[in-house]
Amino acid sequence: MAESDVTTVGSRVWLVKGSPDDLTPATVTQCDGVEVVYQTDYGEEQRMWMNEIDPNQVKPMNGVLLQGVEDMAKMTELNQASILCNLNTRYQQNEIYTYIGSILISVNPYKRLHDLYDEKTLARYTNKDLGEESPHVFAIANECYTCLWKREESQCVLISGESGAGKTEATKFILKFISNISRQRSGKVEEENGKSIEKSILESGPVLEALGNAKTVYNNNSSRFGKFVQLLISESGQIKGGRITDCILAKHRVVRQNPGERNYHIFYQLIQGATPEQRDRLFLMEPGEYHYLNQSGCVSDPTLNDAEDWAALEQALNVIGFKDGQKQDMMSVLSGILHLGNVSFMNAGGAQVVDTDVIDRTSQLLGIDSERLEAVMKERTMKLRGENITSPQSIDQACDSRDSIAMAVYSQLFRWIISKINHRIKGPDDFYFIGILDIFGFENFKINRFEQFCINFANEKLQEFFNRHIFSLEQIEYNKEGIDWCDVEWADNSECLDLVEKNLGLMSLINEESRFPKGTDKSLLNKLHNQHAKNQFYVKPRVIGLEFGIKHYAGEVMYNVTGFLEKNRDTFRDDLLGLL
């Protein structure tokens, strides 16, 4: 390359810092024949004398990157810097989708892009080979549908990414595309049942979002549970049923949230969307008046319209087939949970309820005897040698009992609604299916607890699955077929997973300590440090505290062990269970 390629004003270059792969994209902003000024894409300025420019330190950028490349597998230089630069170039052009072979990378635009998901776009990607049209989530959905018939086996779309990357939206668009192509396959005369099953599957989205999504500091519609959606496809190519499997619902969000975050959407939607008659019947108050909603200092979000979302939720429940009585029961349970959180205690020879009127309202809404509800929070009853032994509880213990009931009731409501949806969309078990996996993204907050530990472990497992199928198994297949190929180096995260899941790994030690009656979070941390301090993927802080760290594939995360054992045990007292 000529020297002018790295000194001409306006030229795009790579500045090499450290290793040859440590590249920073930059633009030549000034050159007076003596000195050259480079402005990096990150706002930094670097000056060099023209006669001292080292071609190993300043390299001209490949021209194709200036326009952006649709499929990065075709790039001559593929490294972290060129990938990020290409994604940024396309992002600035409102091109949020990019391929690497059959892998689709999506960058959340945080705005609506005109015509990107309309009916014309749906038609454009239907029955097209992958790569025939520009990158799009519809192209992946079409390829998935096509491969189901080509290979005569079920297919799955794996959606991964950090919280707020747009995984839930991608799930919606895949469902929309496959539903559209299913209707086309049905011909002119559509079966009414088939139509309603499709609609029920599509409308399950708003229902599950209301119950399982919440505003976090990173994302105002963050999934706080994982789901695997299966679409059962008939021999004629139509959706004839479905199944939704949920996992890892963050129950503790019901009773407490971090600063700046909200509880599950459905609580706010109910309060803002209920009719005056419903508000009276449910004893509804403003969000700021509920303990379970006001702890975080955030009860609203300018980007969310809770009243409109409640109307959409009611419509979705109607489509799925929820009866009026079932919807009223759901509303009563939700309001009952909120009022339960307002039960407070004082110390008078043990915990005593401050305001029994709150207990009465809660009991009425939940359909529970008020005296029994009050008793299980104030006292603990255990069986000893065949006899019931009752002892008073402290205020903290009473609050824990109250919160345990709230979490259990919400979890049961969540599972009941999913079971109703699954009953409505049930189809034949012997059909091929298209599966869509949508779980929490990788998380790294200021304070990370047991929930983040589980979420990030699940993401670590997904990354291993991805690596194994894209790299390891593909290379084995090449060897079997005698195909010449260049060995590809890839980041193997198996040692990080071994740290978590092998014998005497983190999970094993957590489970072991959870079984000890005298086990504490502090004793757990000591065991983790003693067993794994020398592991390259384990981080033992220099300053003694309540944290340990893991070097995940996505970065280092420090975890606070407070509550680890309690949440892992996930036990429910017999007397509380008897109440429910």
The residues assigned a catalytic role are 163-164, 168, 219, 222-223, 441, 443
Q: What is the distance of C-alpha 294 from the center of its chain? A: 24
Closest by CA to 451, choosing from 247, 295, 267, 268, is: 247
Amino acid found at 348:
A
168 annotated as belonging to a binding site for a ligand: yes
Q: Which residue is it, tokens 């509380």?
A: 576
Confirm whether residue 164 is marked as ligand binding: yes
499 Cβ contact partners less than 8 Å away, ≥ 6 residues apart: 505, 506, 532, 535, 537, 538, 550
- Total length of the chain: 580
165 is in an annotated binding site: yes
Nearest one of 303, 301, 226 to 268, comparing CA atoms: 301
Residue 162 counted as an annotated binding residue:
yes
Q: Helix-strand-coil percent breakdown of the chain, rounded to 5? A: 45, 20, 35
Is residue 436 within 8 Å of 175, Cβ to Cβ? yes
Nearest-angstrom CA–CA distance, 401 and 378? 9
Per the CB < 8 A criterion, the answer to whether 268 and 293 are in contact is: yes
3-state secondary structure 409-452: HHHHHHHHHHHHHHHHHCCCCCCEEEEEEECCCECCCCCECHHH
Write the DSSP string, 561-576.
-TTHHHHHH----HHH
Binding-site positions for ATP read 161-168
| Known binding positions | 161-168
